[in-house]
């Protein structure tokens, strides 16, 4: 099964997301829609902290929470704030290709060595830190994680539209993840 739905024209945007801030995000980023002016955020974007991703969107269009792997589990108060105080009714959850939060155990020694060499940590403290937090932030497969996080957010906020998306760092394009 093809899990990613390429968005190369407005017709490719799933009907449920057309005429919503999620559809606008896809039009701005992928389709080059001219950037409109906004006085307030229309959307919450949850995406990875990875520096290789940059969205083409207007100023003031969205709140953005960047967290490793687009994992919003530990940013839930911020999500609730954007909804309750910011008036947000749409969330775009964007995972990406080649995410560093996948298979963290493969980066264990690099992580520990980096804290020891760059931050001045003692080796045991760095290892304990990795062992304590890596299981919380490991996401497994990017697409499966975004789908599971989408489901969790929909259950938590049943009146909010949550869209699972994928960003390709290879071509700077957004795709919808098919559910």
Closest CA to 176 of 165, 162, 160, 168: 165
Q: Tell me how many domains the chain contains.
A: 2
Do both 40 and 109 map to the same domain?
no
Do both 81 and 131 map to the same domain?
no
The share of the chain scoring above pLDDT 70, in percent, equals 99
Q: H/E element holding 62?
A: strand 62-66
10-67 confidence digits (pLDDT tens): 999 999 999 999 999 999 999 999 999 999 999 999 999 989 889 999 999 999 999 9
112 to 116, 120, 132, 135: CA distances (angstroms): 6, 11, 13, 15
Do both 91 and 115 map to the same domain?
no
Q: Is 165 helix (H, G, I), strand (E, B) or coil?
A: strand
pLDDT band at 143 (very low <50, low <70, confident <90, very high): very high
Structural domain including 121 reads 103-138
Do both 88 and 13 map to the same domain?
yes
pLDDT at 93 over 60: yes
Instruction: State pTM to two decimals.
Output: 0.93
Instruction: Confirm if 40 and 60 have CB atoms less than 8 A apart.
Output: yes
Do both 109 and 151 map to the same domain?
no
Largest CA distance in the chain: 55
Do both 80 and 150 map to the same domain?
yes
Do both 88 and 128 map to the same domain?
no
Residue 71 neighbours by CB distance under 10 Å: 22
Residue 155 neighbours by CB distance under 10 Å: 9
Do both 35 and 119 map to the same domain?
no
Do both 66 and 43 map to the same domain?
yes
Phi, psi of 154 (to 5 degrees): -65, -40
Per-residue pLDDT at 117: 97
Do both 115 and 148 map to the same domain?
no
Residue 75 neighbours by CB distance under 10 Å: 15
Could you tell me which residues are beta bridge partners of residue 95? 166
Per-residue pLDDT at 52: 87
């Amino acid at each position: 099964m093809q899990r990613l739905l390429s968005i190369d024209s407005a017709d490719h945007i799933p009907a449920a997301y057309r005429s919503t801030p999620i559809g606008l995000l896809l039009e701005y980023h992928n389709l080059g829609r001219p950037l409109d002016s906004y006085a307030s955020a229309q959307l919450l974007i949850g995406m990875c902290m990875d520096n290789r991703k940059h969205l083409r969107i207007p100023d003031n269009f969205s709140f953005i929470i960047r967290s490793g792997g687009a994992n919003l589990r530990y940013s839930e108060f911020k999500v609730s704030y954007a909804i309750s105080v910011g008036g947000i009714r749409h969330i775009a959850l964007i995972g990406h290709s080649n995410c560093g939060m996948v298979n963290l155990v493969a980066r264990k020694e690099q992580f520990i060595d980096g804290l020891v060499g760059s931050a001045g940590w003692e080796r045991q403290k760095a290892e304990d830190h990795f062992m304590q937090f890596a299981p919380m932030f490991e996401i497994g497969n990017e697409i499966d994680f975004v789908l599971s996080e989408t489901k969790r957010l929909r259950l938590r906020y049943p009146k909010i539209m949550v869209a699972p998306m994928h960003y390709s760092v290879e071509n700077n394009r957004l795709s919808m993840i098919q559910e």
